[in-house]
Amino acid sequence: MNYYRHIDRSKIQFDFIVDADSTHTQFLQDQIKNLGGRIYIVPPYQKLGQYIPALVTIFRKNRYQIVHSHINSLSVFPLYAAKKAGVPIRIAHSHSTAAPGEWKKNIFKYMLRPFSKIYATHYAACSKLAGEWLFGKRAMRNGQVTIFNNAIDLDKYRFNKQVRDEVRDELGLQNKFVIGHVGNFRYQKNQDFVIDIFQSIHAQNPESVLLMIGDGEDFERIRARVESMPENAGGVRLLGSRRDCERLYQAMDLLLFPSRYEGLGIVAIEAQIRGLRVLASTNVPVETQISDGIEFLDLAAGLQTWKEAALQSVREINLQNERMAAYDVCVQVKNLENFYEKNKNAKR
């Protein structure tokens, strides 16, 4: 969506195809339509007998020049449908990796990974790590994978004292040490460890608060855990899914990001633009480092190490302008436009 809002829509227009069981685009529907896009709802991919024919019908009806699939190893299914419908440019885009612990998901990922290149004409990824995981190190070395950074509107995230004071007033956070965590509530994001770290900090500093932003399959379990913590006393705030993360970052003093695996980790970049210190796991790709304010810690280092790092004194964060530009959507959108135009013309 960040790219779509900034792309030259007189040359390139997006339609969005979404599984029926996905809720991610509901609040974006009006915005997409106002920008000239259309949203097609198809059966979930688990129902392949319905999913693939629905895609073939849409692709044939609209005669797309490009199908750009962002669903990692699952891209084999829509790209098969795209080839069957005669779409000339079929892009498989990797946004993630895999890690021990999610064995059911990983079995499916590893089963499909060998097929990731069969129906694709082009490969793309959000980071080197994500590209290597899906397409292989040889494909990365040979320049077969194009990296498109998950670019954002930098101005939305820059520090704003007025907004910081407003949000802190709204949430009753004045004079508090505010730790933040943003991410889908699932195994990958490691929210249990976030709470473990916070509890250790809170025992030492009762004026600390943890803001947890996001929703997902583990949300109710995490909420039950928080509600059962008698010592919490409002220290952990579950804010659910929010559309104003850029405002909430302003209220924070530190971001915890101890992911078990990541394709990139755009949250860490957004937080650094704001000027926050970030504690990230070593599973987060180094491409997220755009300042001297991010520290990468091994999850195996343990709770005490993470706590001590979190309690280090706040200092001024120096942003690296060249690396920031790599995530400036106003700059990076030209790369995507040129990629589409070059490959579209080459197929004529």
Band of residue 317 on the pLDDT scale cut at 50, 70, 90: confident
* pTM of the predicted structure, to 2 decimals: 0.81
Residue 230: the pLDDT is 77
- One domain, residues 142 and 223: no
- One domain, residues 106 and 215: no
- At CA 302, angle to CA 300 and CA 307, rounded to 5? 140
Average confidence score pLDDT of the chain:
91
- One domain, residues 257 and 339: no
Averaged pLDDT for residues 227-236: 81
- One domain, residues 320 and 338: no
Distances, alpha carbon 238 to alpha carbons 135, 180, 224, in Å: 37, 10, 11
Residue 325: the pLDDT is 87
- One domain, residues 237 and 302: yes
Residue 168: the pLDDT is 97
Q: What percent of the chain has pLDDT over 90?
A: 78
Residue 320: the pLDDT is 81
Residue 223 has pLDDT above 90, yes or no: yes
Averaged pLDDT for residues 29-45: 93
Rama region for 240: left / alpha / beta (φ>0; ψ in -120 to 50; rest): left
Residue 110: the pLDDT is 75
Q: What percent of the chain has pLDDT over 70?
A: 95
Residue 220 has pLDDT above 80, yes or no: yes
Backbone torsions φ then ψ of 336, nearest 5 degrees: -70, -45
Band of residue 344 on the pLDDT scale cut at 50, 70, 90: confident
Residue 225 has pLDDT above 80, yes or no: yes
Domain that holds residue 302: 154-325
Residue 99: the pLDDT is 62
- One domain, residues 84 and 60: yes
Residue 175: the pLDDT is 94
- One domain, residues 164 and 305: yes
User: What tokens were used for 260?
Assistant: 């078990």
Cα separation of 237 and 251, whole Å?
13
Higher pLDDT: 114 or 7? It is 7
Averaged pLDDT for residues 93-107: 73
Residue 184: the pLDDT is 94
Band of residue 24 on the pLDDT scale cut at 50, 70, 90: low
Least confident of 18-22, 244-248, 306-310, 319-323: 319-323
- One domain, residues 88 and 162: no
What CATH code is carried by the domain that includes residue 260? 3.40.50.2000
Cα separation of 333 and 46, whole Å?
33
Residue 348 has pLDDT above 60, yes or no: no
- One domain, residues 25 and 127: yes
- One domain, residues 252 and 319: yes
- One domain, residues 142 and 236: no
Least confident of 90-99, 150-159, 175-184: 90-99
Smallest CA-to-CA distance from 189 within 209, 210, 212, 208 is with: 212
Higher pLDDT: 113 or 170? It is 170
Residue 271: the pLDDT is 96
Q: What is the pLDDT of residues 246-298, one digit of tens each?
A: 999 999 999 999 999 998 899 999 999 999 999 999 999 999 999 999 999 99
Q: What is the pLDDT of residues 101-114, one digit of tens each?
A: 666 666 777 788 88
- One domain, residues 63 and 195: no
| Count of domains forming the chain | 2
